[in-house]
A and B are shown apart, each in its own frame.
Chain A
Amino acid sequence: MVEAAPIETRAIAAAARAGVAVPGLIFGVLAALPAAAVMAPENYLLALGTRIMTFAIAAAALDLIVGYGALVSFGHAAFIGLGAYAVGILASHGIGELLIALPIALAASVLFALATGAVSLRTRGVYFIMITLAFGQMIFFTASSLAPYGGDDGLTIASRNTLFGLPIFKDPRTLYYIVLAALAGTFFLCRSIVGSRFGRVLRGAKENATRMATLGFEIYRFQLVAYAISGALCGLAGFLLANANDFVSPAYMSWQRSGELIIMVLLGGIGTLYGPIIGAAVYLLIAEFLSQWTEYWQVIFGPFLVLVVLFGRGGLVGLFAQLTGKRHG
C-alpha cells in the first residue's frame, strides 16, 4: 500500500506555514500602522484601524464556534452590545474604572451565553441559527426600550474607562496598541483552544457528532463552554468599541450586525482564525472607502458579496491559496 501521497503532506506543510506566515504578516502590518499614520490625518487612520481590530476580535471569536464547531450563531452581535452597554451604563452612573467595567462586561456576556446557549444548543442546524437570532433580537429590543439609557437613540459616554484613574484609553495611539494587544491575545487564545484536547472534541463534533457521543464525549457540555468563551470575547470587543466610539446604541446588536459578523468570517476564510481578521479588515475598508465615493455603495458591495460566495470558495484566504498555487491535490 502506498504511503500518504506526497501532495497531502505538502498541503499540510503549506497550511502550517500559512498558519505562521499570515498571522505574522497581519500583526506586523497592524503594529506598523501607527507609524504610517502620519501620512493621513493621524487620528483618522488610527480610529479606522482600532475599529477594524475591534471587529476582528469579534469575528475571530465567532470563527471559533462557526468554523471549528459548526455552530452558526446569528445573534453574536448581542454580546458586543452587552459589553458595550456595560461600559455605557456604568459610565452613566459615574463608574469609569476599567477593573470594574471590564469584568462586568465579560460576566454579562458569559452569563448571557450560558443562559441562551443552554437552550440553543439543544437544537441543530437552521433551528440553532434561528434561535440565536431570536435571543439576539430579545437583547436588541431590551436595549431599545431602556429609556434611562438612551433607548433607541443610544447613550453617549462622557469619558472612557480609566485604569486606577489613569486615562489609558484617551490617547488614540495608546488605545490602538491596547486593542492590538487584545486582538493578539484573542487570536492566540483561540489558536490554543483549537489545537488543545478541548478543541479537538469541538472539531470532532463538527465532523460527526454521533460518533463523538459513542466515543464517550458529552458534546453539549463542550459546545456550551465554547459558546461562552466566544461570547465573552465578543463582550471584550464590545467593551473596546464603546471606549473607542464614546457611544453605544441598540444598533450595535441588530441582526444586521450579526449578519455582518458572519460575512466577515466567511469573507476572510472560515475556520482559520486569521481569515476573519482579514475579513473584518476588508469588509470595513470596503464599506469605508466605497461609502466615501457614493452614498449607494451597498449597490456595489452587495453583488460583490454574492460573487465572493459564487466564485470564491474558502473566502479570501482560500482565494489567495489558489492563486499562489498551493493547491490541495
Chain B
Amino acid sequence: MAEPVLRLEHLHKSFGGLLVIDDLSLEVAPGELHAIIGPNGAGKTTLINQISGLISPDAGRILFAGCDVTALPAHARAVAGLSRSFQVTSILPGFSALENVALAVQARSGSSLSMFGRAAEEDELNAPALAALGEVGLGQRAHVPAAQLSHGEKRALELAMALAMAPKLLLLDEPMAGTGREETARLVGLLRGLKGRFPMVLVEHDMTAVFALADRISVLIYGRVLASGTPQEVRADPKVAAAYLGDEME
C-alpha cells in the first residue's frame, strides 16, 4: 500500500503488573476506515489513548503521516492533524454546542494568545463551526449549552469537534456507546458520508456498524492483533470466530 497514514510498531504497555498492550503492530492506509474490535479488556481504549498521546507506550513507535510522534505530547499531535473522540463523552459542558466546535476551529486558526476582542462573535471561528454542526445534524442546536444535549447529540457534537479540526486522521473511541438504535443508525449514516475524506480508526462493539463501515478490521485480543484484513477475511477467519465473534454477535 501507499505510505500508511498511521503506523504502530511493536507497542508495549503495562500498568503495574498487568500487560495491556502486547507487541502490537498495525497500519492504517490513507483514506481507509479501519475498525478495531475485540472483547472488553482487550486494550482498545488504551491503544487509542496511546495513539492520541494521553498515555506513553513502554516500548515501540508511533508514526503519524511519516513522522515519529512517540515522544510528542497530545496537544502537538492534535495540531499535527490527529483528532479523536472519547468513549465517555468528553465535551465542554458549560459552553454552547457552537462554542465547543468554535474552540476546535480556534485551535487551528491563528494565535489564541489574543486577549482582546470577543471570541464568541468571530465569524472566522463561528462559520466553520456552524458548518461542522450542520454536517452532524446539530445545526439547530448550536446555542444550546452542551450539558443539556441528549446523549446521542453529545456524541454527534464530539464528532463535529473532531471534524472542525480538519483532521488528517480521526480516532473514534466507541462513538455508538450508549446510543439507541435510531441514533446509532444516524451516526452510521454520518460516518459513511465522511468515508474517503480522511482516514478513520473506529473502535466499536456494535458489529452491525463495524461491518457496514469498515474497509479493514483488526481484531484485538489480550493486547495484540489476532487478525487483520477485510471484513470478509476477518469474518471467515476461524481464529477470530473461536476467540471473539463466535460468542459475541451483538
Residues of A within 8 A of B (CB): 1, 3-4, 8-9, 192-193, 195-201, 203-204, 207-208, 210-219, 222, 225
CB distance from B119 to the nearest CB of A (A): 4
Question: Cα distance A4–B93 when bound, in Å?
Answer: 15
| B144 close to A215 (CB less than 8 A) | no
CB distance from A235 to the nearest CB of B (A): 18
Known contacts A1-B141, A3-B140, A8-B145, A207 near B52 by CB under 8 Å: no
The one of A1, A195, A204 in contact with B118, judged by C-beta atoms closer than 8 angstroms, is A195
| A195 close to B113 (CB less than 8 A) | no
| B52 close to A214 (CB less than 8 A) | yes
Question: Cα distance A24–B113 when bound, in Å?
Answer: 28
Q: Is B90 part of the binding interface, using a Cβ–Cβ cutoff of 8 Å? A: yes
B98-127 CB mask vs A (1 if < 8 Å, else 0) is 010001101110011111111110100000
| B93 close to A207 (CB less than 8 A) | yes
CB distance from B117 to the nearest CB of A (A): 6
Question: Cα distance A322–B42 when bound, in Å?
Answer: 50
Q: Is B19 part of the binding interface, using a Cβ–Cβ cutoff of 8 Å? A: no
Query: Which residues of B are found within 8 Å of A218, using beta-carbon distances?
Result: 73, 75-76
The one of B53, B114, B145, B148 in contact with A197, judged by C-beta atoms closer than 8 angstroms, is B114
Query: Which residues of A are found within 8 Å of B83, using beta-carbon distances?
Result: 214
B134-152 CB mask vs A (1 if < 8 Å, else 0) is 0000001101110010000
| A216 close to B79 (CB less than 8 A) | yes
| A215 close to B104 (CB less than 8 A) | yes
Query: Which residues of B are found within 8 Å of A207, using beta-carbon distances?
Result: 92-95
The one of B86, B103, B120 in contact with A195, judged by C-beta atoms closer than 8 angstroms, is B120
| B107 close to A217 (CB less than 8 A) | yes
Question: Cα distance A196–B115 when bound, in Å?
Answer: 5
Contacts beyond the supplied A193-B115, A197-B113, A218-B73: 11 A-B pairs with Cβ under 8 Å: A1-B141, A195-B117, A207-B93, A208-B92, A210-B90, A211-B91, A212-B75, A213-B73, A213-B78, A215-B103, A218-B76
Query: Which residues of A are found within 8 Å of B120, using beta-carbon distances?
Result: 195, 200
| B54 close to A198 (CB less than 8 A) | no
The one of A196, A200, A203, A213 in contact with B75, judged by C-beta atoms closer than 8 angstroms, is A213
B34-78 CB mask vs A (1 if < 8 Å, else 0) is 000000000000000000111000000000000000000111101
Query: Which residues of B are found within 8 Å of A192, using beta-carbon distances?
Result: 115-117
| B103 close to A204 (CB less than 8 A) | yes
CB distance from A24 to the nearest CB of B (A): 19
Query: Which residues of A are found within 8 Å of B216, using beta-carbon distances?
Result: none
| B119 close to A213 (CB less than 8 A) | no
| B145 close to A200 (CB less than 8 A) | no
The one of B103, B104, B116 in contact with A196, judged by C-beta atoms closer than 8 angstroms, is B116
| B119 close to A195 (CB less than 8 A) | yes
Q: Is B159 part of the binding interface, using a Cβ–Cβ cutoff of 8 Å? A: no
| B107 close to A215 (CB less than 8 A) | yes
Known contacts A204-B103, A225-B113, A213 near B74 by CB under 8 Å: yes
Query: Which residues of A are found within 8 Å of B91, using beta-carbon distances?
Result: 208, 211
Output the nearest chain A residue to B54 by Cβ-Cβ distance: A210
Closest 8 CB pairs of A and B: A216-B78, A216-B107, A207-B92, A216-B79, A197-B119, A213-B74, A4-B144, A197-B112
> Interface size on B (CB < 8 Å)?
43
Q: Is B13 part of the binding interface, using a Cβ–Cβ cutoff of 8 Å? A: no
CB distance from A186 to the nearest CB of B (A): 14
Query: Which residues of A are found within 8 Å of B74, using beta-carbon distances?
Result: 213-214
Output the nearest chain B residue to A1 by Cβ-Cβ distance: B140
Known contacts A8-B144, A8-B148, A214 near B119 by CB under 8 Å: no
CB distance from B83 to the nearest CB of A (A): 8
Query: Which residues of B are found within 8 Å of A208, using beta-carbon distances?
Result: 90-93
| B103 close to A200 (CB less than 8 A) | yes
Question: Cα distance A212–B53 when bound, in Å?
Answer: 13
| B115 close to A214 (CB less than 8 A) | no
Query: Which residues of B are found within 8 Å of A210, using beta-carbon distances?
Result: 54, 90
Question: Cα distance A3–B148 when bound, in Å?
Answer: 12
Listed by A's residue number, 18 A-B pairs whose Cβ atoms lie within 8 Å are A4-B141, A195-B119, A196-B115, A196-B119, A198-B115, A201-B103, A203-B94, A211-B91, A214-B52, A214-B54, A214-B78, A215-B161, A216-B75, A216-B79, A217-B112, A218-B75, A222-B112, A225-B113
Query: Which residues of B are found within 8 Å of A217, using beta-carbon distances?
Result: 75, 107, 112
Question: Cα distance A225–B52 when bound, in Å?
Answer: 26
CB distance from B247 to the nearest CB of A (A): 34
Question: Cα distance A195–B121 when bound, in Å?
Answer: 10
Query: Which residues of B are found within 8 Å of A222, using beta-carbon distances?
Result: 112-113
Query: Which residues of B are found within 8 Å of A203, using beta-carbon distances?
Result: 94-95
Q: Is B84 part of the binding interface, using a Cβ–Cβ cutoff of 8 Å? A: yes
Q: Is B220 part of the binding interface, using a Cβ–Cβ cutoff of 8 Å? A: no
Q: Which residue, of A4, A199, A200, has the highest number of chain B Cβ atoms within 10 A?
A: A200
CB distance from B130 to the nearest CB of A (A): 15
Output the nearest chain B residue to A196 by Cβ-Cβ distance: B115
Q: Is B217 part of the binding interface, using a Cβ–Cβ cutoff of 8 Å? A: no
Known contacts A211-B91, A217-B107, A199 near B115 by CB under 8 Å: yes
Query: Which residues of A are found within 8 Å of B144, using beta-carbon distances?
Result: 4, 8
Known contacts A208-B90, A216-B75, A217-B107, A198 near B113 by CB under 8 Å: yes
